[in-house]
C-alpha cells in the first residue's frame, strides 16, 4: 500500500522547470538591471522561487532558491560576473531567499499531503458507507462475498477472499474452489483460533468477529513483503470486518429461522397425517369395543357367546395398542420430535404409568424405591409415561404371576449429573447375548412365542430415552431376572417456591 | 366402589345429548346410556349439536371432537358462553394438547378412544352426580379415610388432623370441589397462584406430591389424586 504522489511533472522535468524559471527571470531582468532597483530584481527572483516551490515541490524549490541566489549574485550584485560579494548585507538577502523557498515548500507539501489524506479518507468512508448500505440488504452469503470484494478493491486496491466455517466448523474458502489464488488455510485457522489478524504468504487475514462468535476470516491479497498499513487503513479494515461479521451473523440467523420454520412445517404435516390415520384406525376399534361391551352388558347371552364377545373386545383393544405403538414409532422415527419437557418429580410420571398398567400387573408384586434426594427431572411426561408403561407391560408379560417387579431410582453413583432408574424383575430373565438386540424394531425376546406383541415396545422406549439425552441398557441380574437401567441427565432444576408451613 | 352408584333415582330421567358422527358408536352409546336409565338425543354435526343443546336442555353432553363440520372445541367455547352444562369429550386424537385445549375451553372430562362401556358409564355417573350434588353440597366432604371440613378449614385422615400448608389446602379444596372432572395444569396454576404463574407447572407438581404424601396410602399409586400425563389432575372420591 502506498500513498498517491502529488499530481504534476515527474522529478527530472520538475528540476529542469525550476532551473528554467530562474533562467527566465535572469534573462528578463538583465536588460533592466540598470533601470531597476536591486530590491525589485530580488522580488522577481523571489517570485520564481515561490512559484517553483508551490508548483514543483520541495527539491525544485530549493534548487530554484540556490540558482536565484547564484544568478542574483553573479549578474546583478557588484562586482558583477563574479560570485564575490562586496556588501555583506546581501548575505541576508540570500538567506531570506533560501528561507522563503524552504518555508514555502514545506507549507505547500504539507497542505497537499493533508488534502491527499482527506481525499483518501473520504474515499474509504465512501467505500465503508456503500458497503454498510449494501450489506444491510444482503440476504445470502454470495451477495456478502461480492460486496466485500468490491469494498476491498475500492478501499485497498486489493483482492479479497472470504473463509467461512463449514458444517463441521472447519474454515473453508467461500465460494469453494478457485485454487489459483487462495489464502493459506492453516494460517487462517490460526487466526480464527487466536482471534488476531495475521499476515503471511502474501495474504493479510482479518478475523470476522460478530457479537456472538467468530463468523469467518477476511483475507486480503497484499503481495510479497511485509504488510504495511496506516492507522486509517487498519481502522477501516477493522470497521469493515465487523460490518461483514454482523451481516454474516444476520444471514446465519435467517437460515436458522428458515430451517426451524421448515422443520415446524414438516412436523406439523407429519402430526396431522398421523392424527388423521389414528382417527381413522381408532374409530372402528371404538365401535368394536363398545358393541362387544354392549353384548356382554345386555346380560342375556349364553355363557359361551358372552366369552366370544369378550374375546372380540380383547382383540380390538390389542389391535388398538398395536396401532398406538406403530403410530408412536412412526412419529419418533420420521424426524426430530419436539419434546414437551417440563420439570417434574419422577414419582408422578411413574405413578401415572403404574396406574395405567395396574390391570396387567394385578397378579404381580410391585415395589417402588425412590431415593429421597431425587431431583426434579426435565421430562416429556407423556412420552416418559410410555417408557415406563412399555417396560412394566413387558415385565408383566414375560414373568409368571406372583413375580416381583422392583423400580428403583437414585442419583447415579458413577456420574453426578445423572439419575439412574432401574426396573428389574425376578422372572426368567432376558435371552443371554441378545440384550442390546432387544431394542431393535420388530425384535422379540422369544420368537414365535405365545406371548402377543410385535417387538416395538422396547424400540419406542429407546427412542424416547435417547430423545431425552438418556441411555438405556438391558441385562440380567446375577440372582436371576431381567433388569433395565435408564440413565437420564439431571440438568439444572429450577428453584422451588418457598412457603411457610 | 362409589362409581357404580346409580344415577340419582329420584326425579326425572337425566337427558344426555350425544354429538358423534360415527353411527356405530352412537348406537352403543345410546344402548349403554338407556340401560342406565338415561334419556338420549343424538346428532352428528356441530351446528345441530349446538341447537339441540339449547332446545333439549340436556343434563350432559357427550361430544366427539372430530366432527365433519368443524372442531368440537368450537362447540364447547360457544356453549360455555351461555351454559354450564357438563361436557364429556370423546377423542380419537393422540395429542395431549388437543385434550388440554378442550378442557381449557370448558370441557369437564375426556375419554380417549377406544374405551369400554364400564369406563364410559363411570365418567357419566360422576359428571351427573356432580351436577346433582351442586345444589346440596355440605361443609364436610369425605373420601376414603379423609375428611375435609370446609367450614372449619380442617383436614382429617382416619380421625387425625393433617397439617396442610395454605397452598396445599387451597389445591385440595379445588380438587374436591371439582371431583370427577379433569383440571388442567393451567387451570390449577391460575386458580392457586394467579394467572401470571401458568408457566410454573413444576410448582404445582411439587405441591401435588406433598399432598399425596400427606393424604394417599401409597403416594406412588394414588387412589384419589390421579395424574393425567401432559394434561393435569383428576380427583376421584
Cα–Cα distance for residue pair A428/A476, rounded to 1 Å: 9
pLDDT tens by residue, B167-204: 999 999 999 988 889 999 999 999 998 888 878 888 89
| Residue B141 C-alpha, separation from nearest chain A C-alpha, in angstroms | 23
Mutate which of A281, A351, A380, A392 to disrupt the B interface (most B C-beta within 10 Å)?
A351
Burial class (CB in 10 A: 0-12, 13-18, 19+), A367: exposed
State the 10-residue block means of pLDDT for chain B, 237 residues long.
50 90 93 92 92 92 89 91 92 82 93 91 89 68 87 88 91 90 93 86 91 91 92 90
Query: Which candidate from B113, B116, B205 shows the least CB-CB separation from A348?
Result: B205
Contact A494 B202 (CB under 8 A): yes
Residues (pLDDT < 70) of chain A are: 1-11, 178-180, 224-227, 441-454, 497, 499-501
Query: Which candidate from B95, B114, B222 shows the least CB-CB separation from A275?
Result: B95
CB pairs A-B closer than 8 Å = 136
Per-position b or e across A372-381, b if 16+ CB within 10 A of its CB? eebebbbbbb
Mutate which of A292, A297, A330, A384 to disrupt the B interface (most B C-beta within 10 Å)?
A297
Burial class (CB in 10 A: 0-12, 13-18, 19+), A195: exposed
| Residue B38 C-alpha, separation from nearest chain A C-alpha, in angstroms | 15
pLDDT tens by residue, A347-402: 999 999 999 999 889 999 999 999 988 899 999 999 999 999 999 998 998 899 99
pLDDT tens by residue, A45-66: 888 888 888 888 778 888 888 8
pLDDT of residue A446: 58
A287 contact residues in B (CB cutoff 8 A):
22, 24-25, 28
pLDDT of residue A172: 84
pLDDT of residue B26: 94
Cα–Cα distance for residue pair B181/B131, rounded to 1 Å: 11
pLDDT tens by residue, A416-431: 889 999 999 998 888 8
Cell of A486: 435408564
Q: Do residues B110 and B91 lie in contact, with contact meaning Cβ atoms separated by under 8 Å? A: yes
Q: Is B201 on the interface with A (CB under 8 A)?
A: yes
pLDDT of residue A501: 47
Q: Is B208 on the interface with A (CB under 8 A)?
A: yes
pLDDT of residue B227: 93
Cα of A288 vs its chain's centroid, Å: 56
Contact B94 A381 (CB under 8 A): no
DSSP string, A112-125: HHHHHHHHHHHHHH
Burial class (CB in 10 A: 0-12, 13-18, 19+), A315: middle
A385 contact residues in B (CB cutoff 8 A):
229
Contact A294 B32 (CB under 8 A): yes
Listed in order, strand segments (DSSP E) in B60-165 are 60-64, 66-67, 70-71, 87-91, 109-112, 140-143, 146-149, 154-157, 160-161
Cα–Cα distance for residue pair A438/A458, rounded to 1 Å: 7
Q: What is the chain A residue with the closest CA to B32?
A: A294
Global pTM value: 0.67
Contact A313 B94 (CB under 8 A): no
Mutate which of A347, A357, A369 to disrupt the B interface (most B C-beta within 10 Å)?
A347
Amino acid at each position: 500500500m502506498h500513498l498517491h504522489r502529488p499530481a504534476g511533472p515527474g522529478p527530472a522535468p520538475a528540476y529542469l522547470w525550476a532551473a528554467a524559471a530562474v533562467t527566465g527571470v535572469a534573462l528578463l531582468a538583465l536588460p533592466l538591471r540598470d533601470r531597476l532597483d536591486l530590491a525589485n530584481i530580488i522580488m522577481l527572483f523571489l517570485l520564481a522561487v515561490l512559484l517553483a516551490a508551490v508548483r514543483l515541490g520541495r527539491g525544485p524549490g530549493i534548487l530554484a532558491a540556490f540558482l536565484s541566489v547564484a544568478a542574483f549574485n553573479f549578474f546583478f550584485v557588484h562586482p558583477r560576473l563574479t560570485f564575490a560579494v562586496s556588501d555583506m548585507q546581501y548575505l541576508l538577502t540570500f538567506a531570506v531567499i533560501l528561507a522563503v523557498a524552504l518555508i514555502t515548500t514545506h507549507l505547500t507539501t504539507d497542505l497537499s499531503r493533508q488534502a491527499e489524506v482527506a481525499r483518501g479518507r473520504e474515499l474509504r468512508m465512501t467505500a465503508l458507507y456503500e458497503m454498510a448500505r449494501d450489506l444491510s440488504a444482503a440476504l445470502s452469503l454470495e451477495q456478502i462475498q461480492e460486496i466485500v470484494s468490491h469494498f476491498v478493491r475500492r478501499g485497498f486496491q486489493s483482492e479479497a477472499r472470504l473463509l467461512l466455517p463449514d458444517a463441521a466448523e472447519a474454515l473453508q474458502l467461500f465460494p469453494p474452489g478457485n485454487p489459483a489464488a487462495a489464502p493459506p488455510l492453516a494460517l487462517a485457522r490460526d487466526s480464527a483460533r487466536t482471534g488476531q489478524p495475521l499476515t503471511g504468504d502474501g495474504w493479510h487475514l482479518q478475523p470476522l468477529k460478530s457479537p456472538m462468535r467468530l463468523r469467518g476470516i477476511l483475507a486480503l491479497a497484499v503481495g510479497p513483503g511485509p504488510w504495511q498499513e496506516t492507522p486509517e487503513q487498519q481502522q477501516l479494515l477493522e470497521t469493515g470486518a465487523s460490518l461483514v461479521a454482523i451481516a454474516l451473523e444476520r444471514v446465519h440467523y435467517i437460515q436458522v429461522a428458515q430451517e426451524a420454520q421448515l422443520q415446524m412445517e414438516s412436523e406439523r404435516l407429519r402430526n396431522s397425517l398421523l392424527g388423521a390415520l389414528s382417527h381413522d384406525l381408532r374409530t372402528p376399534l371404538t365401535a368394536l369395543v363398545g358393541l362387544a361391551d354392549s353384548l356382554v352388558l345386555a346380560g342375556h347371552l349364553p355363557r359361551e357367546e358372552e366369552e366370544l364377545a369378550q374375546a372380540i373386545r380383547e382383540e380390538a383393544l390389542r389391535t388398538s395398542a398395536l396401532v398406538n405403538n406403530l403410530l408412536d414409532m412412526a412419529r419418533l422415527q420420521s424426524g426430530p420430535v419436539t419434546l414437551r419437557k417440563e420439570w417434574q418429580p419422577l414419582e408422578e410420571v411413574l405413578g401415572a404409568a403404574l396406574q395405567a398398567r395396574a390391570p396387567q400387573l394385578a397378579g404381580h408384586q410391585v415395589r417402588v424405591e425412590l431415593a429421597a434426594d431425587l431431583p426434579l427431572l426435565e421430562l416429556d411426561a407423556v412420552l416418559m409415561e410410555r417408557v415406563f408403561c412399555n417396560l412394566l407391560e413387558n415385565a408383566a408379560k414375560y414373568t409368571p404371576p406372583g413375580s416381583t417387579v422392583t423400580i428403583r431410582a437414585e442419583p447415579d453413583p458413577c456420574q453426578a449429573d445423572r439419575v439412574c432408574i432401574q426396573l428389574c424383575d425376578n422372572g426368567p430373565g432376558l435371552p443371554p447375548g441378545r440384550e442390546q438386540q432387544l431394542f431393535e424394531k420388530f425384535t422379540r425376546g422369544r420368537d414365535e412365542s405365545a406371548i402377543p406383541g410385535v417387538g416395538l415396545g422396547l424400540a419406542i422406549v429407546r427412542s424416547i430415552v435417547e430423545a431425552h439425552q438418556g441411555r438405556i441398557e438391558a441385562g440380567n441380574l446375577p440372582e436371576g431376572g431381567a433388569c433395565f437401567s435408564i440413565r437420564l441427565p439431571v440438568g439444572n432444576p429450577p428453584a422451588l417456591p418457598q412457603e411457610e408451613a | 366402589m362409589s362409581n357404580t352408584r346409580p344415577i340419582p333415582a329420584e326425579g326425572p330421567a337425566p337427558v344426555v345429548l350425544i354429538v358423534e358422527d360415527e353411527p356405530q358408536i352412537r348406537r352403543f352409546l345410546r344402548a349403554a346410556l338407556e340401560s342406565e336409565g338415561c334419556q338420549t338425543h343424538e346428532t352428528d354435526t356441530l351446528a345441530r349439536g349446538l341447537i339441540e343443546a339449547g332446545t333439549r336442555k340436556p343434563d350432559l353432553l357427550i361430544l366427539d371432537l372430530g366432527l365433519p363440520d368443524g372442531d368440537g372445541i368450537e362447540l364447547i367455547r360457544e356453549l360455555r358462553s351461555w351454559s354450564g352444562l357438563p361436557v364429556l369429550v370423546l377423542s380419537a386424537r393422540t395429542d395431549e394438547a388437543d385434550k388440554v385445549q378442550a378442557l381449557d375451553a370448558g370441557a369437564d372430562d375426556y375419554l380417549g378412544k377406544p374405551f369400554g362401556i364400564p369406563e364410559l358409564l363411570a365418567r357419566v355417573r360422576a359428571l351427573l352426580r356432580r351436577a346433582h350434588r351442586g345444589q346440596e353440597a355440605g361443609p364436610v366432604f369425605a373420601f376414603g379415610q379423609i375428611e375435609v371440613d370446609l367450614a372449619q378449614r380442617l383436614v382429617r385422615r382416619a380421625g387425625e388432623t393433617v397439617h396442610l400448608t395454605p397452598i396445599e389446602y387451597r389445591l385440595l379444596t379445588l380438587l374436591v370441589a371439582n371431583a370427577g372432572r379433569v383440571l388442567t395444569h393451567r387451570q390449577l396454576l391460575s386458580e392457586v397462584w394467579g394467572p401470571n404463574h401458568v408457566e410454573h407447572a413444576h410448582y404445582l407438581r411439587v405441591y401435588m406430591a406433598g399432598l399425596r404424601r400427606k393424604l394417599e396410602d401409597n403416594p406412588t399409586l394414588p387412589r384419589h389424586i390421579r395424574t393425567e400425563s401432559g394434561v393435569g389432575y383428576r380427583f376421584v372420591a
